[in-house]
Each structure stands twice: as structure tokens, then as C-alpha cells.
Chains A and B, each alone.
Chain A
Amino acid sequence: MSTHAARAGVSAAAPTGRIDWSPYMAGIGIGILSWIVFVVVATPIGVTTAASQVAGGVAGLFIGQEAVQANPYWARNPFRLDYGTLFLVGTFVGALASALASGRFRIESVPTVWAERFGPSAAARYAAAFVGGAIVMYGARMAGGCTSGNGISQGLQLAVVGWTFLAAMFASGLASAAIVFRR
């Protein structure tokens, strides 16, 4: 891996000077997958509705099923093994399979770009991940979906909600990165 690539925190998949087609191929693949899900199961790709259901299931372990069912949000989105939650299981399995098949499965606690800015402490990294994860999910539910459900699935339908999400997400992300990483 060249020093430049190492500093950028990017794992070099192709020598510099050649086009790396993998993002485009993945994009085409996800686009085609969208055709398939629209036609075959009439269920656009999405993640956060199912994630909310899972959260309800987790909450039930602590506060009991009745309390969960009494919650107005979870009453409408109860935890069950349905298409959405099984899609999440599949996502995990597919990525695991791809990582193993390509020999790129690797336990990672502190990624390069984080370490360059904040040092090697896993505790610090985990704290940011936990807080970031909470904010990402809260924001996604308020927006009605995340990058998959809103950005891609609504975006590809030219939905105003999808494109507004993309604009707000990128603007906020660019500003946040400028502050957090000081570029």
C-alpha cells in the first residue's frame, strides 16, 4: 500500500493511474437490485424501519412486552421476523461472505483516519461510534429513512423527500467533517 494511500486511509484496490471500477459496479449492482425488489416483492431497499423494530424487541427485554406495545411508535412497528428484519440479517451475511471470500475479513477496532486525528484509543473510538450511531438512527427515523431507504430508494424515484434528505445529509456531513477533522 503506498504511503499516500495509507495517509488517506484508503485500502488500495487498484494501482494508481487506473480507474477503479468497483464503486461503479457496486452502484450498478445496487441499481439492478432495486429493479428486482420493486418488481418481485414491491419492497424498496430500506434499513431503519426494521432497525426500529429490532430496537423495540431489545427494549422489550428490559421493560417488558406490554410496555413496548403501549408505545405508540412500536405499536405500529412491532418486532417480528418479517421481510425487513430478515433483509438486515441478509445484509450482515452477504457482507460477511464477501469479506471472507475476498480474504478481507479483518477485526478492526480503530480505523486509520480516526487514529490519525484522535489517536489509537479504542475507548474513544467506541464512544464516538455509540453516540454517532444513536444520532444517525434518530435522524434517519425523523427523516423517514436513511441513505438506503431515503437516499437511494426514494432518490431513485425522484421523490422530494429522498433528494431533500441527500442534500441535508451531505451539507451537514461536510460541515461536520470540517469541524471534527479540521480537513
Chain B
Amino acid sequence: MISNATPPGLFLAVVFGAAFGWLLHRGRVTDYNVIVNQFRLKDFTVLKVMLTAIVVGGLGVLLFVHLGLAKWHVRDANMLGVLIGGGLFGVGMVLYGYCPGTAIAAVGTGSLHALVGVLGMIGGAILYAYSFDWVRGNILSVWNLGKVTLSDITGIPPLLIYLGLAAVAIVLFVILEKRGSGR
């Protein structure tokens, strides 16, 4: 393992980021039309990219953790924060047509409106920094379940959940492709 604070780690940050940006573009999720049409249920590209990434990523990480080559990095389930924040995020993503990662990548593909939105994102982050004390006291601390996983709360072993997810993903993708769902 390489520390992410050393020069090699910092170099890898750019390399891994570049891979991420490249993949987002090749997966066509740097396109405003693709993202918005996902929320209009006219285009399932976003779902395909995300679900595939989660299933493939998850099975591999499970294996590597099991082999002692990686650790889990599960975050606190601040339920009120994630529900309100996620709800706001959905509204914002439909208005903006991007999420933060795809937005930055989209700027790289020439999207001027994505760039304008980056200024908005900086504004939103500044707003958050100024409201942070209030949010931490009144929202984030209210309903925190801790670093729990779906396995923790259901009692189902992680591997079974992953395999179940993979099965759902495959069935879903077959249905989508048969329907000619729009890419």
C-alpha cells in the first residue's frame, strides 16, 4: 500500500482521477442529456454504469479485504443528514444535469454550462461550511446509526447480498436490453 500523502500517492491521485474521468466519458455519463433522461426514465445508462460499478467493485473489494489486502472504509449512517442531503441532491442533479464527478469530467469535454455549475458547486460548498455548525448540531447528530452495512442490519452475510445484487442487476439489464430501453 502507498500512502496517499506521499509523492507517489499524489501522483497516483492524478492517474486514478484521470482513469475515472476517462471512464465517465466513455460510459457517456458526462452528457447532460443522458443524465437527465435517466431521471425521466428514458435512458438507463446512468443506472447501468452505477449498478455495474457497485457490483463489480463490491465483489472485488470483498475479496481483497478477505485476503487482507484492503480495509473497509464504511462511513457513519447519519440518517437524517443522508435523507435530507440525498433529497436535495436529487433536486440539484436534475436542475444541474450532473453530479459533482460527472460535472468536473464534463467540463473537460467542453461543457460550458457544466463549468458555470462548478461555480455554483463552490457556492454551495461555501454555504455548507457556513451552516456546518448548525447542521452538525441539529441534523447530523440526531440519528446516527454508526458505520453499519446492509449485512449488519439484516443479518444476511455480505457475500449473499452481493450475489443477490448481481442477480438483480443481470435480470434488470436483460429486461432493459430486450426493451430497447434507450442507451
Contact = CB atoms under 8 A, between A and B. Distances in A.
Given A23-B45, A141-B85, A156-B53, A33 B19 contact: yes
Interface residues of B, number: 134
A40 B1 contact: yes
Interface residues of A, number: 133
B55 A176 contact: no
A1 to B, nearest CB: 12
B95 A135 contact: yes
Chain B, interface SS category: helix
A133 interface: yes
Contacts of A97: 18, 21-22, 108
Contacts of A44: 73
A92 B107 contact: yes
Interface string A151-183: 111111111111111111111111111101101
Given A90-B18, A113-B37, A157-B61, A73 B145 contact: no
26 contacts: A8-B182, A10-B43, A26-B26, A27-B48, A32-B57, A38-B70, A41-B3, A41-B16, A43-B73, A45-B20, A51-B121, A72-B133, A90-B20, A94-B21, A98-B22, A99-B109, A108-B113, A110-B113, A113-B36, A134-B92, A134-B127, A141-B125, A143-B82, A160-B145, A169-B93, A183-B40
Interface of B: 1-5, 9-10, 12-34, 36-37, 39-43, 45, 48-58, 60-61, 64-65, 69-79, 81-114, 116-130, 132-133, 135, 139-140, 145, 147-153, 158, 161-162, 173, 177, 180, 182-183
